Structure 1
Amino acid sequence: MSISAVDIGQHALRRTPRIHPAWTMVAVAALALIAAGSFTTIAGLITEPLVETKGWSRTGIGAAVAVNMVLYGVVGPFAAAMMDRYGLRRVTSYALLALIASSGLTAMFTPSVFWFVLWFGLAVGVGTGSITTVFAATVANRWFYRRIGLATGLLTAAGVFGQFAMLPLLSVLLERADWRAPVLACGALATAALLGVLLLLRESPAAVGAVRYGADHGTEPADTDGRVNPFARTATAVRDARFWVLASMFALCGATTNGLMWSHFTPAAHDHGMAATTASGLLAVIGVANILGTVSAGWLSDRIEPRLLLAVFFLGRGVSLALLPVLFTSGWSPDLVAFAVVFGILDVATVPPTLTLCRRYFGVDSALTFGWISVFHQLGAGAMALTGGLIRDINGSYTPLWITAALACLIAAALGTIGSRIR
C-alpha cells in the first residue's frame, strides 16, 4: 500500500504533541504570505528595466500595476468565502499555482504590454489577493482560541517581510541577470510555499485530532456550515453600524499608509533635494520596523483593549506625519531615521486590533467581514494617492498633504474608540 505525501504530513502532525499544531499552521501560512508578499512590491523594481528592454510606456506598465492593486483588495472577501466553502488548503494551493504560472508566463511570454497586464496584473492580482490578511485571519480564527492576536501579528508580519525584506535579494538578482530573474525567484518561493501547504496545511484542529490553541472541547464551537451563502452573511454584517465604523477607520488607515507613503514620500523627499536611493533606504527602514510593530501589536491585542490600542496607534501616526515637513532634509539625518522607525512601528500595527474587534463583533464571519473592510483600506489608499498628486500640483508643496493625513489619523483614532458603542 502506497503512502502519499499528505499522509506523511498528517502523520507528522499527529506525532508532535509537545508543539501544538496551530504553530505549524502559522509557519506554513507565513511562508505562503511571504511568497505572496514578494510579488506585491516587485513592480517598482522591474519598471525601469521593462521600459529600457521592452520599450513599453510607463502608462502601460502602470495599468498592470493598477489592475494588480485593485484585485489585491477586491479578491480578499471572495477568497475568504471560498475558503469557507471549498477549503483553506484548496483555495490557497490554487492561488499559489496562479502565482507560479504567472511568474513563468511573465518572464517567458510577454510579447506586448497587453500580456503583461494579463499575467502580472490579472493573474498575480488574483493570486496575491487570495493570500492577504484575510487569509491570515482565517488561519488564526480556525486554529487559535487564545493568543489569536499574537498569531495574527506574526502572520501579518510575514506578509510585510515578503514585501520588503525580499527586495534586497531581488535587487541583487536584477543586477546580476535581468528583470526576469527576480520574477522567477518569486515564482520559486511560491513553489516552496505550495509544497508546504500541500504537505502540512490542514482545514481545522479536528483534522489532526486536536482543538484550537488554548481551548478545550467544552469551549469549541460547533462546526459551521460552509454552504451558507457568503453574500447573505455579508449582508448581515453591513447592516451593523459597527461594520461601517471599522470600514471608515480602515479607509483612513489605507489613506495614511499605502496611499500616502508609498506614492508620495519619494517625490516629497526629492522636493527637498534628497536622492531617490536615500528615500528608498528610509522606506526600507519603515518596512523593517513594520515587522516589530505588527508582532508587538498582535501580542498587545491579547492583553489590552483593542480600541485603546487603535487610538494610541493612530494618534502616534498622526503626530509623526504632522512633524514630517520640518524633519525633511536633503540626506540621512537622525530625525528622519527616527521618523522612519516610529512610523514603521505604527504603520501596520492597526491590523491585529482591528481583526480582534472584527472577531468580537462578527464572530465566525470575522474573516469574511474583514475582507470587505480591507477593500475600503485599498479604496482609501487609492484616493490618497490621487489627492496627494492634486495637492502637489495646486499648492506646489506636499506640506498640506502631511497635515491632511495627520488630521485623518485623528478622525480614525476617534472612530476606533467608539466602535463598540454603536449598534
Structure 2
Amino acid sequence: MTTELKSSKMYYGWVVVLITFVTLLVSAGIRSMPSIFMLPFEKEFGWSRGGISSVISIGIFLYGLVGPFSAAFLQKFGIRRVMVASLAVLAGSLLITPYMTALWQFELLWGLVAGLATGMMANVLGVTVTNQWFVKRRGLVVGLLTASAATGQLLFLPMLAQITVAVGWRYAIYTAVAALLVLLVIVAIWMRNSPYDVGAAPYGTEELVKPVPFQGNLFLTPLLALRSALKNKTFWLLAGTFFFCGFSTNGLIGTHLIPACGDYGIPEVMAAGLLALMGLFDLVGTTLSGWLSDRYDNRKLLFTYYGLRGLSLLFLPFALNASPAVLMIFTVFYGLDWIATVPPTVKLASMEFGKEKAGMIFGWIVVAHQIGASVAAYGAGVMRELLGSYTVPFVAAGFVCLFAALMAIRISQSTSAAQQTQA
C-alpha cells in the first residue's frame, strides 16, 4: 500500500475524505427521508402531523446526542470499524420499516435506531477524520465534509420524492438500502483510520506519528469533557449559537418546507427540488466558508452567516405567497448559508479546547444544535396544527438567528486571535 502511494504521489487522505464525503452525503440524505413521508403517512396510516413530527424530533435529538460518544468510539475502535457497524445497523432498520403498522414502530425504527446510527456518521466523524489526516487545510476539509452532510440531506429528496409519488414510499426505502449496502462495501475495503495505517504523515507535516490509543471510559470520558467545557464561556456561546442554527435549518426548513409548500399548492416533487437546489448551493457556500475560516476572524464570519440567515427566514413567508421566481431567490440565498456556520464553529472550538478534546467538545456543541432542531421539528408541526400555517415558526426562526449573530460576536477575542495565529 505504501509503495503504491509513493509511486502515485497521491496523498491517501484525499481518498479518505472522498469516502467520508459520500458516507455523510448518503447518511444525511436518509436521515431527511421522513420529511417526504409526512404526507403519505398522514394518508395511509392516519397519523397526525404532530405525531409524525415527534418521531422526527426524537431522531434529530438522538442524532446529536450520540455525537460526543461517537468521538470516543471513533478513537477507541477506529473510524472504519465504527462506520461499517453504523451502516449495517442503519440498513437493518430501513429493511424493517416497510412492515410497520403503528406509530410506535416508526418511533422505534426512525426515532431511536436510525437516529443513533446516523448520529455515529454525523459532523463529529468529519471533524475526527480531519484532525487525524490534516494539519493544513483543516478549515477547507471540515467545510467540504460539513457541506456533504447538509447537501445529502437535501440532494436525494427529489429522487426519493419522485419514487414515493410514482410507486410508493416503500420503494424509496429499498432504494436507500441499496445505496447503503454499496457504501458499506466501499468503506470496508478502502477506508483507513489514520495516516499511520498507510505509512504517511498528516497532511502539512513530514513526521510519521502513531495515533495515541484512547484512554478512559467510552461513556464517562465524554461526560467529563462536558463538565470541563461547562465552565467555559466560549463553549456556552458556541453551543447557544448552534442551538439556534439547528432551530433554523434541519429542524425547521429540512423538516417542514415540503409540507409548508403543500399548504400553498406547490407539488411535493417541486418542493423537494427546492431543497435539493438549496443543497447544491450549500455545497458551494459551506466549502467556501471552510476556506474563509482558515483566513479570517471566525467570530465575524458567524455574525455574518447568522444575520443573513435571519433575514432570509423573515423573507420566507412573503416568498411562499409570491411567484416561483421570488421563492427561487430565497432558495439560492438561504442555500448558500444553510450550514456555513459549522467550519467557523469547529475552528473556534479547536482553538479553545485543543485537538485532543475538539471532537468530543464539538460533539456536545452539536447536541445543542440538534436540541434546537428537535424543538423546531416538533414545535413547528404543533403550531401548524394550531394556527393553520407555518408563518409564525418561520418568523420566529428569523429573529432567533439575528440574536445568534449578536452572541457570536461576543466570543472571546483571545480565541479568535489564537485562530488567526494558527491560520
TM-score (norm 1): 0.86
Identity of aligned residues (%): 34
Corresponding position: 1:168 with 2:168: no
Q: Which runs of 5+ in 2 are unaligned?
A: 416-423
Structure 1: segments with no counterpart, 5+ residues: 1-9
Show CA shifts across 1:45-82 (max 9, x none).
334444555x3524664454333222111111111111
Larger mean Cα displacement after TM superposition, 280-289 or 292-301: 280-289
User: Which SS does the other structure have where 1:187 is aligned?
Assistant: helix
Report the CA distance shift for 1:57/1:409 in structure 2 as closer, same or farther (over 3 A). Answer: closer
**Which residue is 2:337 aligned to?**
346
Equivalent residues in 2 for 1:235-250 (5 A)?
A: 235-250=227-242
1:119–1:387: structure 2 CA closer, same or farther, 3 Å change rule? closer
Provide closer, same or farther for how the CA distance between residues 325 and 168 of structure 1 changes in structure 2, counting only shifts above 3 A: closer
2:291 matches 1:299:
yes
Q: How does 1:131-210 map to 2 (within 5 A)?
A: 131-210=121-200
Quote the Cα distance in structure 2 between the aligned partners of 1:213 and 1:145: 6
Q: Tell me what 2:81 maps to.
A: 90
Q: For 1:120, which of 105, 110, 128 is the aligned residue? A: 110
Task: Tell me by how many angstroms 1:34 deviates.
Answer: 1.9
Q: Which has the higher contact order (CA 8 A, sep 6+)?
A: 2
- Give the match for residue 203 of structure 2: 213
Query: Which residue pairs with 1:3 in the alignment?
Result: none
1:269–1:330 CA contact under 8 A, matched in 2: no
Partner of 2:13: 22
For the residues of structure 2 that align with 1:131 and 1:234, how far apart are their CA atoms?
20
Q: Does 1:110 align with 2:100?
A: yes
Counterpart selection for 1:68 from 37, 59, 62: 59
**Distance apart, 1:309 and its partner CA:** 1.2
Cα 1:399–1:188 change in 2 (3 A) is closer
1:226 counterpart residue number: 214
The amino acid across from 2:74 in the alignment is M
Letter in 2 for 1:227: Q
Question: CA-to-partner distance for each residue in 1:306-332, whole Å, 9 max, x for gaps?
Answer: 222111111222222333444443541
Q: Are the aligned partners of 1:242 and 1:422 in contact in 2 as well (CA < 8 Å)?
A: no
Q: Which residue of 2 aligns with 1:336?
A: 327
1:317/1:343 contact within 8 Å kept: yes
Task: Give the SS at the match of 2:22.
Answer: helix
Q: Which amino acid aligns with 2:28?
A: G
Equivalent position SS for 1:211: coil
Contact 1:268 1:398 in 2 (8 A): yes
Match of 2:374 among 382, 386, 397: 382
Asked whether the equivalents of residues 57 and 377 of structure 2 are also in contact (C-alpha less than 8 Å), the reply is: no
Call closer, same or farther: CA 1:310–1:100 in 2, change over 3 Å. same
How many Å apart are 1:166 and its aligned residue? 1.5
Q: Report the CA distance shift for 1:18/1:365 in structure 2 as closer, same or farther (over 3 A).
A: same
Query: Are the aligned partners of 1:242 and 1:419 in contact in 2 as well (CA < 8 Å)?
Result: yes
The one-character-per-residue Cα deviations of 1:90-126 (angstroms, maximum 9, x if unpaired) are 211111110121122223x435444333233322111
Q: Answer yes or no: is 1:362 the counterpart of 2:350.
A: no
1:408 and 2:396 aligned: no
1:185-211: CA deviation from partner (whole Å, max 9, x where unpaired): 212211222122211222211111111
> Is the contact made by 1:80 and 1:138 (CA closer than 8 Å) also made in structure 2?
yes
Task: State the SS of the aligned residue for 1:141.
Answer: helix
- 1:336 and 1:61, CA in 2 relative to 1: closer, same or farther beyond 3 A? closer
Per-residue deviation, 1:378: 1.6
Amino acid at match of 1:110: M
CA RMSD of aligned residues (A): 2.9
Give the whole-Å Cα distance in 1 for the aligned partners of 2:6 and 2:95: 37
How many Å apart are 1:242 and its aligned residue? 1.0
| Alignment of 1:321 onto 2:316 | no
Deviates more, 1:66-75 or 1:358-367: 66-75
What SS is found at the alignment partner of 2:412? helix
2:344 match: secondary structure: helix
Q: 1:354 to 1:196 in 2, by over 3 A?
A: same
Of the structure 1 ranges 408-417 and 343-352, higher mean CA displacement relative to structure 2 is found in 408-417
- Residues in 1 aligned to 2:271 and 2:228: alpha-carbon distance in whole angstroms: 44
Distance 1:221 1:231, change over 3 A: farther
Where 1:259 maps in the other structure, the secondary structure is: coil
In 2, Cα distance between equivalents of 1:394 and 1:173: 31
Specify the alignment match of 1:283 in structure 2: 275
Task: Determine helix, strand or coil for the equivalent of 1:275.
Answer: coil
Aligned length: 408
Q: Distance in 1 between matches of 2:390 and 2:41?
A: 29
Task: Measure how far apart 1:257 and its partner are.
Answer: 2.1
Secondary structure in 1 matching 2:278: helix
